[in-house]
Amino acid sequence: MNISVIIPVYNAEPFITEAVHSALGQPEVNEVILVEDGSTDDSLSVCRGLALADSRVRLFQHPGRRNNGAGASRNLGIEKSSLPYIAFLDADDFYLENRFRKTYELFEQYPSADGIYEATERIFENEDVKATYFDLYKDRPMVSVNKSVSPSHLFQSLVLGNEGWFHLNGLVIKRKILEKTSTFDIRLRQTQDTDFILRLALHGRLYGGDPKIPVAKIRIHGNNRILNAQKVIYYRHLFFKKWFTKMLKNQWDAKVNKHIIKGLLYTHPDIFKYRKFILIRLSIKAIYLLGYLFRYPKIIAKLF
């Protein structure tokens, strides 16, 4: 396997060296693409040093050193990469030893696979960060799809969340699948990875690895943008609005449709604001749901 690893870099000065070295230490990695996204710390200097030290590391920036977000940075990295397999790594995270060993075996086992996803694990900077994270997400440290899910059922499984999820750090794709799915939606400064993964699952054939063995660590620290609840909900709502529009145009399972509408309502700013007040939240939710049903009368048929 010849793998390009795409790393968007924004204010990751303390972490980026470990991330890059963890990628270069994998024998399958022959290219590491750094896209420096207008950092306000000294990340750019660190990236320049890493690129000078190893010819496999290539550094790019957006025109005018603009901050365009992780999605746009990954898109630029994909555009500049040259190898047939693409993997992703966040600048504050790192791969574990032999990260791609099982990946290679699975691609050999499933020649028709467009991608392989494997488990990752969260690590927390301190207990305060851990408490903030779990209050917002109510999630678990291990990030994995819990059991074997066929590619044809993966989209539904991921939407419903019945069998877990996987992180971009645990994903390797063949470049050619992007012809069907396109790249990251730059309108989504957050949740663009969720959107990308769902499109891959919907249009491609993705196979899972061992759900109990992580291939990368996800570092949760105080500067993570995912800990900003207001922005998280704002972009999650945009995400659900996008998939609500897709839902109206497709014949998906009723369970999928209901989950998308549920997410659209829960992430609405007016409803999320009163999430701890059950009666108020339910009343507002009912009003908005009636509004959607009135505006999109055909939606009723998609719920049954």
Domain boundaries, the chain: 3-227, 230-302
pLDDT of residue 227: 63
Contact in structure between 37 and 63 (CB atoms under 8 Å): no
Token pair for residue 70?
A: 């992780």
- Report the chain (304 residues): mean pLDDT per 10 consecutive residues: 96 96 98 97 97 98 94 97 97 97 97 97 87 74 90 96 94 96 94 96 97 95 72 90 94 94 89 80 86 83 80
Is 260 in contact with 247 (CB distance < 8 Å)? yes
Report the C-alpha gap between 295 and 301 in whole angstroms.
14
State the burial class of residue 251 (Cβ atoms within 10 Å of its Cβ: 0-12, 13-18, 19+): exposed
Report how far Cα 283 is from the mean position of its chain's Cα atoms. 32
Closest CA to 184 of 235, 126, 251, 220: 235
Burial of 68 (0-12, 13-18, 19+ CB in 10 A): buried
Q: Specify the CATH number of the domain 3-227.
A: 3.90.550.10
What token pair was written down for 153? 């059922």
Task: Fill in the DSSP letter of residue 228.
Answer: -
Residue 28 Cα distances to 4, 23, 59, 235, 256, angstroms: 9, 9, 20, 35, 37
How far is it, in rounded angstroms, from Cα 217 to Cα 96? 7
pLDDT of residue 297: 83
Q: Give the Cβ contact number of residue 128 at 10 Å.
A: 10
- State pTM to two decimals: 0.91
Kindly give, in sequence order, each residue whose CB lies less than 8 Å from that of residue 172, ignoring residues fewer than 6 positions away.
3, 85, 86, 87, 100, 103, 107, 115, 116
Neighbour tally for 218: CB within 10 Å = 21
